[in-house]
Structure 1
């Protein structure tokens, strides 16, 4: 059942808000906690459907995963190599991260597992993970096109490999490293372009032996990660910082809504994730970091964001991996800027929950933006700060980020924007609507 909603101009965004915990760190906290021996405690865990799918999968494979009344999660791990064969298919819902990382985790365990997902996830390619994990000895029976439903058999013993990522992908990197945990020897991943490094930070925090360096590649320096297998992970106490991908919607909303002056507390600012803040500052956005600090090995700050006149820019494709999930809402900011914004190198956006380039080009055009879709990016001629016409309903293709991005566009439109379905927002940001309404009171 769909849940349409019309978003329209209201009051400025003011006061202080706190967004849910980082999704990437939440997934990894549950997985690594399940592989440690003892009790890992996690506060600030994102309790969206994607992360709950990971929690259910870890329970199905023998780990104890409980939430107490105060919101603290306690994970009783089984040790590396101790995961049990699940009795039924692992339902991943809409979560590509859960699926790809768990395939890696199980690739070096002597278990057979079936993976299923919703219609959106079942259309997403898994071949880029299947390929390196097959080299390590795991075997896969995917649906035609390399998608879910999928059956896999882990290898025991698995074989360590040295793998150069053909496409910048933190999920593929993480899947190979997680497979390496229960593999004798050294598993190596080579990154021509650095991607988000939560896995490396958290693996080291749990006690895995990692060596990270640089080698000379054909096109310059390449990042090399070496993981020593048969690791013994130690339980941790984790405080999950606010998700920068969730904060992104409120950052853009405050920048484009006249009179806004909003503080977003406890935002994770890992350099491999903070590209959006840098690019919006290049456009003239007022985003101030207050009380910078470190929490659990991750840089964190409170962000004060004020309404700003934005100017179009050419976005350096080298920054794309550090803001890949934020491009849908960035396109909204570009549509309201003064002048032309050009993006390129965004092929990855075509294989997310939807084809986000095509979906955002169509949705923004439908509400009055001037957008040209190219093979690997969008060219957007902004309104110079004038509101968009609005309209809809716009089609979100069951994609939570398209839905939230078009909600923000509605705040900067004359006639509001109707989003065809807000239900998918719950996969990553269950209290998005309530938080948005509260910031505009």
Structure 2
């Protein structure tokens, strides 16, 4: 378990590029693996989570290989022609891989066993099990609806209309992916719109779907027994990864950093909105569209941040970025209040409780509520940092490790985190990139 102390740095300068978007990378591999023909993916995130998806799709019969130029070539197995996995599907730490591939297995006549690491095996899957069971899949999970978990798929599966009880792009996507091999029309109703990468990319691969509104709620209707055609996918930079550098440059005096090629899908860009509301200096240069996704280069300069009350309506568009936002709040002037974050309690860790303890250990003033944090900022002064011999417990959560690493850049003593290994799940080059940006 490689512990590391992150210490105060010089200003973050220059131009960097963060890894490809994790959500889009997962989906590109899956949908290319379901198409008939050859797809090429550039900019793919090569973290452990995405590689778990690639390994699973190979078991389903897709041919997936990394080319010498860094692109990925995928020969699809064809929807409805998947092979039954010969061994269990090891999802590692990836909740996205697990939930979306459960949907894939649910509408194919096969039996799949999903396993994962200690962190993933503690995460509940009941929210995905419920709609897939309605479609006819038989699912047996460990106590509490966790991994290890077995899915016995049904062909033909049953089309359903499913209203999401909570905002979850993963549950929505699992149902839509199951619907691909299901006759008829499957409808998903979203009371609160979530990230729409699945809908955008499925349309690109040739699936027939319509989106609309009924009674103020978003409705996605997918026509089953789809024929997916291969396509080339260019993956934009991950806004969840960019968030750490947006916060770091905002809180370290003298910083002027450009983050190239960041995806700014409106269902994902809440972190930029929230930071700007706090007074962050973030500009969008060279806005463009790549593969159906809005993209821009983000220039961020140090700013004096102020605390805000975060609107719960913005939560779905930045659910993974709150640990980074909590760090920004700890260095801001005044108080930041967040609510509506119950989803954070069932991520890789309980991110509300773990970040409350981590920030307090680094000297921040934090109060934990049932579904959020109240953070009293330093007014721009550095955090004290962790005491000698004390270490932030990351609980195997990559975003806790990276967020507290950023906090260390604006601290007096530095911040020690107990384990940086989980960072490899989503951002293998985070530490060297952070060191390069702060040493120019």
- Partners in 2 of 1:139 and 1:67 — Cα distance? 35
Q: Hey, what does 2:301 align to over in structure 1?
A: 306
Correspondence for 1:234: 229
Structure 1 partner of 2:188: 189
Query: Residue 394 of structure 1: SS of its match in structure 2?
Result: coil
**What is the CA distance between 1:10 and its match in structure 2?**
1.4
* Structure 1 segments unaligned to the other structure (5+ residues): none
Q: Which residue of 2 aligns with 1:175?
A: 174
Q: Distance in 2 between matches of 1:61 and 1:285?
A: 45
2:220 alignment partner, SS class: strand
Query: C-alpha offsets along residues 19-64 of structure 1, whole Å, 9 cap, x if unaligned?
Result: 0000000000000001100001000000000000000000011100
2:244 — aligned with what?
249
| TM-score, structure 2 as length reference | 0.99
1:14 aligns with 2:9: no
**How far apart, in 1, do the equivalents of 2:18 and 2:174 lie?**
27
1:103 and 1:40 mapped to 2: Cα distance?
23
Query: What is residue 100 of structure 2 aligned with on the other side?
Result: 101
Query: CA separation in 2, counterparts of 1:250 and 1:78?
Result: 38
Q: Give the one of 343, 351, 355 matched to 2:350.
A: 355
Cα deviation, 1:377-431, whole Å, max 9, x if unaligned, reads 0000100000000013100000000000000000010000000000000000000
Deviation at 1:285, TM superposition (A): 0.3
Compute the RMSD of aligned alpha carbons: 0.4
* Residue 334 of structure 2: aligned partner: 339
Q: Out of 419, 427, 430, which is 1:429 matched to?
A: 427
Separation in 1 of the partners of 2:357 and 2:81?
A: 47
Q: 2:9·2:410 contact (CA, 8 Å) conserved in 1?
A: no
Which residue in the other structure is 2:366 paired with?
371
SS at match of 2:73: strand
Quick one: which of 202, 211, 223 aligns to 2:218? 223
Give the structure 2 partner of residue 117 of structure 1: 116
Give 4+ residue runs of structure 1 displaced > 4 Å after superposition. none
TM-fit CA distance, 1:78? 1.5
CA distance, structure 1, for counterparts of residue 223 and residue 426 of structure 2:
33
> Which structure 2 residues correspond to residues 383-398 of structure 1 after superposition, within 5 A?
383-391=378-386, 392-398=390-396
Shift of residue 80, structure 1, vs aligned partner: 1.1
Q: 1: CA distance between counterparts of 2:78 and 2:358?
A: 47
Alignment of 1:194-209 (within 5 A): 194-209=193-208
Please list every run of 5 or more consecutive structure 2 residues that lacks an aligned counterpart in the other structure: none
CA distance in 2, matches of 1:276, 1:184: 39
